[in-house]
Structure 1
Amino acid sequence: MAATDRWSWPRILGADGPAAVICIRLAVGLVFLSEGIQKYLYPDKLGPGRFEKIGIPAPTFFANFDGVIEIVCGVLIVIGLLTRFAALPLLVDISLAIVFTKLRELRPGGFQGVEGFWGMVHDARTDVAMLLGLIFLIWAGPGRWSLDAWLTRRAQHDVLA
């Protein structure tokens, strides 16, 4: 395989996976899209107010930045456009969310009275599912029912024509 074949758009987009990948794309993309929107709908509880409460510096900037990333990348994942690229910033996003919010729950007091590991695991279930869903999308690609697949087919058709 030539070096240029490894870096071709069809190979990078990798949209030849099963159509069923749309289920993972919808689950992951819609959760991030919804969370991004809610940062603006409920700024005191889920946006800058929450970021300030958990000790993130420049909470307004980072909450708004995070909201934009979640909305834009969530939409890209839902429609299957540049899926692997869109998953990368969300992978950073969810990893930081786990570090800043979930790992702190291991301290005494825990989550809703459930202290330590089990309280943290309970509260982190969606974060872990999103983390693994993003890793899956980066690994497997967006599947055949995606704009990435359509673009790949179109590019291959144009080359053959």
Structure 2
Amino acid sequence: MAQLGDWMAKLTGTTAPASVVLIRLYVGAVFLVEGILKFLRSHALGTGRFDKAGIPAPDFFAPLDGVFEIVCGVLVLVGLLTRLAVVPMVVDMLGALLITKVPILWGGSGLFRGESGWWDFAHEARLDFAQLCGSLFLLFVGAGALSLDASLHRRGVRPAAARQE
């Protein structure tokens, strides 16, 4: 049981300032909105987009991605299990960059036929890079002082060694 407490303390612990809430709000809101849009506009942003990008089994992966973005976006917004929530979002953003944006560097394909080169890549990848950097930031520093993680940590989710003192 002590190992679970140690693990939770590491997961929820943060020394980051309260201002991290601004990063959480932006990262969480974008993931939440994009996840919802995968269902509301499935042809353009969900299944249809995944199919056009050449992602296999788009009827499975687009809704799965949407659910992950919604759940993880909400967790990031409230600052609950933030470090855990951003891990699949880092994978999500790396996948988006590699599958849909990197081909632009070599002449465009799939979603971005006709667009090519560094400047088109930089333009199309800007949100993916911002989300990736924001997610990595939260992974490294935690949710910050104004979060459910910090609240849980303050209420006693501490390593066993600290509780015995």
Q: Same fold (TM over 0.5)?
A: yes
For residues 30-88 of structure 1, the C-alpha deviation after alignment (integer angstroms, 9 at most, x for no partner) is 00000000000001000101100010110010000000000000000000000000000
Q: Deviations over 1:66-118 (max 9, x none)?
A: 00000000000000000000000001011000011110111225868653111
Q: Are the equivalent residues in 2 in contact too, given 1:112–1:119 (CA < 8 A)? A: no
5+ residue gaps, structure 2, are none
**How do residues 126-137 of structure 1 correspond to structure 2 at under 5 angstroms?**
126-137=127-138
Amino acid at match of 1:139: F
Counterpart code for 2:141 = A
SS in 2 for 1:85: helix
Cα contact 1:33–1:70 (8 A) shared by 2: yes
Going from structure 1 to structure 2, the CA distance change for 1:96 and 1:115 (only over 3 Å counts) comes to: same
Question: Which residue identity does 2:120 align to in structure 1?
Answer: G
RMSD: 2.3
Query: Could you tell me whether the CA contact under 8 Å between 1:47 and 1:63 is conserved in 2?
Result: yes
Structure 1 segments of 4 or more deviating over 2 A? 6-12, 107-115
Q: What is the percent sequence identity of the aligned residues?
A: 50
Asked if 1:147 is matched to 2:148, the reply is yes
CA distance in 2, matches of 1:69, 1:150: 24
Provide the residue aligned with 2:139 in structure 1.
138
Aligned position for 1:32:
31
Contact 2:97 2:125 in 1 (8 A): yes
2:99 corresponds to which residue?
Answer: 100
The secondary structure found in structure 2 opposite 1:145 is coil
Residues 128-152 of structure 1, C-alpha deviation per residue, up to 9 Å, x if partnerless? 0110101100000000000001111
Q: Contact 2:47–2:58 at 8 Å: present in 1 too?
A: yes
Residue equivalent to 1:73: 72
Mapping 1:41-120, distance limit 5 Å: 41-108=40-107, 115-120=116-121
The one-letter code sitting in structure 2 at the alignment partner of 1:39 is K
State the number of aligned residues.
156
C-alpha distance in structure 1 between counterparts of 2:92 and 2:51, whole Å = 17
Q: Shift of residue 154 of structure 1?
A: 1.1
| Alpha-carbon distance between aligned partners in 1 of 2:21 and 2:113, rounded to the nearest angstrom | 35
- Is the 8 Å Cα contact of residues 102 and 121 (structure 2) preserved in structure 1? yes
Maintained 8 Å contact 1:39/1:46 = yes
Letter in 2 for 1:68: V
Aligned mates of 1:13, 1:101 — CA distance in 2: 33
